[in-house]
Structure 1
Amino acid sequence: MSSPSRTAAFPPCPEDPCTMLDRIESPVREHAAGSLDPLFSPAAIAVLGASADPLKIGGRPIKFLKAHGYAGTILPVNPRGGEVQGLPALRSVGELPWGVDHAVVALPASAVLDAAQACADRGVKAMTVFSAGFAEVGPEGAAMQARLSALARESGMRIIGPNCMGVMNFRVGLIASFAFMVDLGLPRLGRTALVSQSGAFGGQALVMARRRGLPLGAWVTTGNECDVEMADCLAHFARDDETDVIMGYMEGCRSPDRLVHALALARERGKRVVMVKAGSSDVGRAAAQSHTGALAGNDRVFDSLFRQYGVHRADSIESFFDAAYAAGSGKRIVDGRVGVFTVSGGVGVLMADVAEQEGLDMAPLPQPAQDELRAMLPLAAVRNPVDGTAQIWSDMELFRRFLRTMLREGRYEAVVFFLTAMPYSPPLQQPLAEIFADLRREFPEPAMVLSMLAPQALQDQLADQGYLLIEDASRAIRALSALRALSRPSPGPADLASLPRVPRFPALEAANEHAAKEILARVGIPVLPERAVADLDAACAAASELDYPVALKVLSQDIVHKSEAGGVALDIADEAALREAWAAMRARVAQAAPRARIEGMLVAPMAPPGVEMILGVQRDPVFGPVVMVGMGGIYAELLDDVSLRIAPVDPEGAMNMVRELKAFPLLDGARGRPRADLDALVRAIVRLSVFAHQHADRIESIDINPFRVFEAGRGAAALDAVLLTREPEDGGRA
């Protein structure tokens, strides 16, 4: 077997028609459109299609604005004039004062374009369009929506919708919505904003937030997104000093640059983002695209993006609300050290099981603390979970001392108290309120969750003191796990200064493996010093030059999977074996792929042993080139152990990708194996990502499989490669 010293990369040649790039454009770019402040904090709001009937779509916003304390000017617009719900009505948009901040449009779709133009002519800064009948109904509606989008671009007037349920800013009493759910009551006022692409989900979420005690400061549904997109709202709340937590319900993404910028801004400003992303299945993606008109993209790419920017992705509506609720506490869980107090041993066991599944640390109390608790209550289980048993309810002073000792000595980052339904007992309610008020004052740092059934007045009192109230004990543990995930630092955008220079090719074609490797080698990805040959004599000469043993592979742009077509022969020891392998391979390939165009054969030295990986690039319909690393060779599809990132990737990001793999221990020297050359693997990932980013308009996919990583310090090499190109799109993102 040949030594690693035989691996080499083709250096950039002076005659190569390529340009070395000194500057990589950042994918984190701010969208230049105007502020959303007029939407969320208007000094005056007009309602077009205003109705005197507070039950109609044009009447509800006026009713809600008046009922919830909006202090700005409300300007009903109705062609009949007169009075609307006690307010003087204007007959047309032309009668509006110049430069009104926000106009709500509750008109038939056929009247929206004229109304929007009139608003733009009158200097209106922002519009919310309730009206349906646009892109969601067919080509004619899509054409009207395109004209609405153009008007927004040309005038600078921001438009949310059409086909949306509106905007709410509870801090200023702005209820620019027709959602009847408002009549059911609003959530507690808080520092969490909710953004939804779905109006139906947004309406349900409003009710759920109130019922679950989740405080909200703002709420918005984006509908068809003719102008203002979900990403724009995320960025708005990332800048908002009165918002700490951002909840997002996403089905698809129209503008990846806006989304990346919004998440980067939220990360930079320390905002906690909790997201539900629908469309993880093929059926779900198709449904999401049909619903929103936005591309759903590869779900794994969204996962990767969310990890990169510290977004917590919830896997259910229930966990979505629990995670946001916990995030709103402002507490941090870094090490995952959690204590559990219960009056039921069985539930304590269940909570311990969930904590282990979530990777939380149920560290036992120190032995002196255990001894102290056991002296107070001999029948208690005092390790962690701590079970006070039902006996503890008989002495509330003992209850106080017991919990105080656990909190003082356990030094937990978070504690869950499972109290069953006992707080419904009238004699216990006042003592419980006093005890937990005292504990919160004495121990302000840890996150504290009360898992209990209790009267609403007691729940409200304890919530005001900073306790999280989650009835289900398992959900309480999972909420703390989500809080831990949100407390961890995230990598953020690539460090552009650390990225290498790579050549940019004015023409990019790779008809076969050898051509693909030549391009990759010039980018700086190591390959073996192989030879492409047209006949057997040339193959023998190449093998003598490279030194036996060698590998022989068919070259054909029509044969991607050479092994399956019989187009690979390994460990060819001498010339006689090479001649025999040549003849046998020609016969196998002719039988397996009779119509394939054979361009020649590839002769290469046998590579040293190592760990076989796969490196790749795939063009995502939303985010463009996405880089992949995973276990390669025959295990690539079988194990499905891969990590993805949107290109480009810096060295730290590439190492994080490698560490995310379940098979990382194989690279890191598990069970006495030699440690692989991780530096060489990281360099290859980075260079591949920069190359893909710079040629995003022309690369469809790159598949380097296997990419063999040798022992530490001995490098790596691409043993096979396929590069598929595409025609650039004029004026569009590749």
Structure 2
Amino acid sequence: MLDRIDPPVREHAAGSLDPLFSPASIAVLGASADPLKIGGRPIKFLKAHGYGGTILPVNPRGGEVQGLPALRSVAELPLGVDHAVVALPASAVLEAAQACADRGVKAMTVFSAGFAEIGPEGAAMQARLSALARESGMRIIGPNCMGVMNFRIGMIASFAFMVDLGLPRLGRTALVSQSGAFGGQALVMARRRGLPLGAWVTTGNECDVEMADCLAHFARDDQTDVIMGYMEGCRSPDRLVHALALARERGKRVVMVKAGSSDVGRAAAQSHTGALAGNDRVFDSLFRQYGVHRADSIESFFDAAYAAGSGKRITEGRVGVFTVSGGVGVLMADVAEQEKLDMAPLPQPAQDELRAMLPLAAVRNPVDGTAQIWSDMELFRRFLRTMLREGRYEAVVFFLTAMPYSPPLQQPLAEIFADLRREFPDPALVLSMLAPQALQDELADHGYLLIEDASRAIRALSALRALSQPSPGPADLASLPHVPHFPALEAANEHAAKDVLARVGIPVPPERAVAGIDDACAAASELGYPVALKVLSQDIVHKSEAGGVALDIADEAGLRQAWAAMRESVARAAPRARIEGMLVAPMAPAGVEMILGVQRDPVFGPVVMVGMGGIYAELLDDVSLRIAPVDAEGAMSMVRGLKAFALLDGARGRPRADLDALVRAIVRLSVFAHRHADRIESIDINPFRVFEAGRGAAALDAVLLTRDPEDGGHA
């Protein structure tokens, strides 16, 4: 039976999820005497798993339900019940929810389907349920969910048949899933993989309680160290950011699967949950900012959470491998290299010591004891002890094949690995082997991670290293510069866009907008040759393709010739474009060309982008994103995250670029976008040229698209 604590009997804070997860009393509406029915399963599970609180079945027929006296209606409930479980038809849910609110019920789990997922009529009923939650303060999870479980107190408020298969080991990991089907599968997988869980919840249609609320609850929970999340979409970005910031602040490790990275996946997620999946890259950026590990498969999701639950840290990535199969050792080394883990060789004296014990062994790293090592278990002990003592690895994987199934080896192995764990408590130790369940359980109790597949074991350690790294966290709002607010925001062409950027504090070159060639020649004379000439038109975004750009014009004759040629080529390429004049600018010094931009994300609002210019952004997809606003530390993190950062940092004898100027521009652009989030659709500064260190930078071209905050359309 599970170790458990009695449900707390205390007042819950307003808006708290404690009544959902730690209730002192649970009412079951639609309670059934049949433990196979949806209304019967929660009562069966609560009784079977030792829930110590009060269970109150509600059934119109009254009498007795599974040995408990049943109430005929919600009106007979005592005032202030913590948690009501609703297993009623959708048509009866609203009336029941109102009755619960009237009796002061603090929280409700609604299993019932037939709401927003079926169409407009169901969506209208769900909206009324949401309004009731807001008005009454009663927290509602669901509808259309599989419920809530707190294994520590035996609180199984769910109808999931998977509970009948057995519960996972009790641990300090909580799992939150927007999908009930995935939540059910995850329950079975956690048990089969030995992943200890403390709590489990599926959020369903999220009429009130959202995934982000559950993440925040477990971030505050002192009995939770690791939070697993299966996410399909995000309804309230502010809540999600707050939850992830809270988890980071409290040192909780968060492992996430985010579905919807493909166009097809996003459409499916919207259809399934009614939530916007958003730009997948923005979620990637958000997760990196708050130290969330994003798993790319269900398998890696569980492995990463399992490794995180060990409580171990891998900061440098130093990993040792012991194997009794040379080939598998090579395979593990290959995976470690792919994951950028450090397979540092053992020190030479340690190699000599191991070779003296076993002359045919490979003793560098991976260390291959060969099959000979099984013939002498005392040698086995000394060999591994030497490797752990001298290697000083942050983690070690032991690949033992299926030999632990051999009866004569089982007791010695249990004793040897128990002793090693006591002597070396700090590193993460992973056993990759096939073994009887009893032996696996015994070694798991000693703090070993057990992952059968050797490659998965290495990848789990890579995830653990990622979760051990510091993350930037939220922007330091106090450090952000002041940026003016624009009561009206119009930028019909490049010159107007640059004027706005200049007022924001983003450097732009001195330039002149002119209507005629004589004015252009006067401007060029004032600015100094060589100059660039560009067409000004709100209808022409890609000026070069329309023949609307001429560079390195050396003198007045060249300028007059370029003017005439440009008017002719633009008229031919874009005959209906409105031409507002021309732009004359001095040629900028050499530097590194970047792209700065802002895009309005449908979930998170303005998102800032920085990328290397030219082929790097387009062909190599080399960009960094961050939700606005961004402080200087965050901006520098974005820049350093670019694949081609070395080009800015003085690689191969290049002059080092003015990184400070680039960072200042990113920060100011982000603050500007944040302040005008309701009116900016996108900003594109391309190129943004960064000169040598100390010489600044300049926006050489810019497009600013605004939107009407009232209707969401473009201005």
Question: What TM-score results when the alignment is normalised by the length of structure 2?
Answer: 0.97
Residue 712 of structure 1 aligns with which residue? 693
**C-alpha distance in 1 between matches for 2:221 and 2:3:** 36
**C-alpha distance in 1 between matches for 2:656 and 2:127:** 57
1:619-671 deviations in whole A, cap 9, x for unaligned? 00000000000012465323321000000000010001000001101101111
CA contact (8 A) 1:161 1:224 kept: yes
1:547-592 deviations in whole A, cap 9, x for unaligned? 1111000000000000011100001111111111111000100010
**C-alpha distance in 1 between matches for 2:676 and 2:287:** 24
1:118-153 deviations in whole A, cap 9, x for unaligned? 111110000000000000000000011011001000
Structure 1 position 31, deviation (Å): 16
Structure 1 position 712, deviation (Å): 0.6
Answer with 388-397 or 538-547: which moved more: 538-547
Structure 1 position 255, deviation (Å): 0.3
**C-alpha distance in 1 between matches for 2:618 and 2:580:** 28
**C-alpha distance in 1 between matches for 2:167 and 2:617:** 51
Q: Does 2:171 align with 1:161?
A: no
1:198-247 deviations in whole A, cap 9, x for unaligned? 00000000000000000000000000000000000000000000000000
**C-alpha distance in 1 between matches for 2:529 and 2:347:** 65
CA contact (8 A) 2:430 2:451 kept: yes
SS in 1 for 2:562: helix
CA contact (8 A) 1:79 1:92 kept: yes
Structure 1 position 197, deviation (Å): 0.2
SS in 1 for 2:465: helix
Q: Does 2:599 align with 1:650?
A: no
SS in 2 for 1:732: coil
**C-alpha distance in 2 between matches for 1:191 and 1:297:** 31
Structure 1 position 727, deviation (Å): 1.1
Number of residue pairs matched by the alignment: 715
Structure 1 position 66, deviation (Å): 0.5
Q: For the structure 1 residues 676 and 629, does the alpha-carbon distance in structure 2 shift closer, same or farther, using more than 3 Å as the test?
A: same
Q: For the structure 1 residues 108 and 732, does the alpha-carbon distance in structure 2 shift closer, same or farther, using more than 3 Å as the test?
A: farther
**C-alpha distance in 2 between matches for 1:516 and 1:30:** 56
Residue 572 of structure 2 aligns with which residue? 591
1:498-534 deviations in whole A, cap 9, x for unaligned? 1101001011010000000000000000000100011
**C-alpha distance in 1 between matches for 2:399 and 2:307:** 17
SS in 2 for 1:306: helix
**C-alpha distance in 2 between matches for 1:581 and 1:22:** 83
**C-alpha distance in 2 between matches for 1:118 and 1:347:** 63
**C-alpha distance in 2 between matches for 1:428 and 1:22:** 32
Match runs of 1:440-459 below 5 Å: 440-459=421-440
CA contact (8 A) 1:163 1:224 kept: yes
Q: For the structure 1 residues 23 and 625, does the alpha-carbon distance in structure 2 shift closer, same or farther, using more than 3 Å as the test?
A: farther
Structure 1 position 22, deviation (Å): 54
Q: For the structure 1 residues 658 and 318, does the alpha-carbon distance in structure 2 shift closer, same or farther, using more than 3 Å as the test?
A: same
**C-alpha distance in 2 between matches for 1:577 and 1:26:** 85
**C-alpha distance in 2 between matches for 1:357 and 1:502:** 44
Q: For the structure 1 residues 416 and 22, does the alpha-carbon distance in structure 2 shift closer, same or farther, using more than 3 Å as the test?
A: closer
1:404-438 deviations in whole A, cap 9, x for unaligned? 01011111110000000000000000000000010
1:461-480 deviations in whole A, cap 9, x for unaligned? 00000000000000000000
CA contact (8 A) 2:8 2:22 kept: no
CA contact (8 A) 2:7 2:23 kept: no
Q: For the structure 1 residues 285 and 570, does the alpha-carbon distance in structure 2 shift closer, same or farther, using more than 3 Å as the test?
A: same
**C-alpha distance in 1 between matches for 2:144 and 2:2:** 45
Q: For the structure 1 residues 357 and 39, does the alpha-carbon distance in structure 2 shift closer, same or farther, using more than 3 Å as the test?
A: same
Structure 1 position 537, deviation (Å): 1.1
Answer with 43-52 or 24-33: which moved more: 24-33
CA contact (8 A) 1:129 1:160 kept: yes
1:27-82 deviations in whole A, cap 9, x for unaligned? 99999970000000000000001111110100100000000000000000111111
Q: For the structure 1 residues 97 and 432, does the alpha-carbon distance in structure 2 shift closer, same or farther, using more than 3 Å as the test?
A: same
CA contact (8 A) 2:534 2:548 kept: yes
CA contact (8 A) 2:12 2:18 kept: no
1:327-360 deviations in whole A, cap 9, x for unaligned? 0000011111111000000000000000111111
CA contact (8 A) 2:2 2:154 kept: no
Q: For the structure 1 residues 142 and 201, does the alpha-carbon distance in structure 2 shift closer, same or farther, using more than 3 Å as the test?
A: same
Structure 1 position 536, deviation (Å): 1.1
Match runs of 1:676-695 below 5 Å: 676-695=657-676
1:656-698 deviations in whole A, cap 9, x for unaligned? 1000001101101111111111010000000000000000010
Structure 1 position 497, deviation (Å): 1.5
Q: For the structure 1 residues 442 and 634, does the alpha-carbon distance in structure 2 shift closer, same or farther, using more than 3 Å as the test?
A: closer
Greater relative contact order: 1 or 2 (C-alpha under 8 angstroms, separation 6 or more)? Answer: 1
Q: For the structure 1 residues 21 and 541, does the alpha-carbon distance in structure 2 shift closer, same or farther, using more than 3 Å as the test?
A: farther
CA contact (8 A) 1:616 1:704 kept: yes
Q: For the structure 1 residues 21 and 276, does the alpha-carbon distance in structure 2 shift closer, same or farther, using more than 3 Å as the test?
A: closer
SS in 2 for 1:724: strand
Q: For the structure 1 residues 26 and 42, does the alpha-carbon distance in structure 2 shift closer, same or farther, using more than 3 Å as the test?
A: closer
Structure 1 position 728, deviation (Å): 1.1
Equivalent of 1:555, from 533, 536, 539? 536
Answer with 566-575 or 635-644: which moved more: 635-644
Residue 327 of structure 1 aligns with which residue? 308
**C-alpha distance in 2 between matches for 1:355 and 1:31:** 48
CA contact (8 A) 1:337 1:361 kept: yes
Structure 1 position 25, deviation (Å): 42
Q: For the structure 1 residues 35 and 82, does the alpha-carbon distance in structure 2 shift closer, same or farther, using more than 3 Å as the test?
A: same
Residue 9 of structure 1 aligns with which residue? none
SS in 2 for 1:639: coil
**C-alpha distance in 2 between matches for 1:524 and 1:24:** 58
SS in 2 for 1:597: coil
Q: For the structure 1 residues 563 and 600, does the alpha-carbon distance in structure 2 shift closer, same or farther, using more than 3 Å as the test?
A: same
Answer with 282-291 or 29-38: which moved more: 29-38
SS in 1 for 2:619: helix
Answer with 33-42 or 176-185: which moved more: 33-42
1:278-333 deviations in whole A, cap 9, x for unaligned? 01111111111111111100111000000000000000000000000000000011
CA contact (8 A) 1:633 1:705 kept: no
Q: For the structure 1 residues 27 and 599, does the alpha-carbon distance in structure 2 shift closer, same or farther, using more than 3 Å as the test?
A: farther
Structure 1 position 458, deviation (Å): 0.3
SS in 2 for 1:310: coil
Q: For the structure 1 residues 91 and 256, does the alpha-carbon distance in structure 2 shift closer, same or farther, using more than 3 Å as the test?
A: same
Gaps of 5+ in 1: 1-19
Q: Does 2:173 align with 1:192?
A: yes
Q: For the structure 1 residues 394 and 729, does the alpha-carbon distance in structure 2 shift closer, same or farther, using more than 3 Å as the test?
A: farther
Answer with 571-580 or 238-247: which moved more: 571-580
Q: For the structure 1 residues 201 and 529, does the alpha-carbon distance in structure 2 shift closer, same or farther, using more than 3 Å as the test?
A: same
Q: Does 2:408 align with 1:420?
A: no
CA RMSD of aligned residues (A): 5.5
Q: For the structure 1 residues 180 and 193, does the alpha-carbon distance in structure 2 shift closer, same or farther, using more than 3 Å as the test?
A: same
SS in 2 for 1:265: helix
Q: Does 2:301 align with 1:309?
A: no
SS in 1 for 2:38: coil
**C-alpha distance in 1 between matches for 2:487 and 2:582:** 27
Answer with 418-427 or 530-539: which moved more: 530-539
Structure 1 position 496, deviation (Å): 1.1
SS in 2 for 1:701: strand
**C-alpha distance in 1 between matches for 2:417 and 2:714:** 56
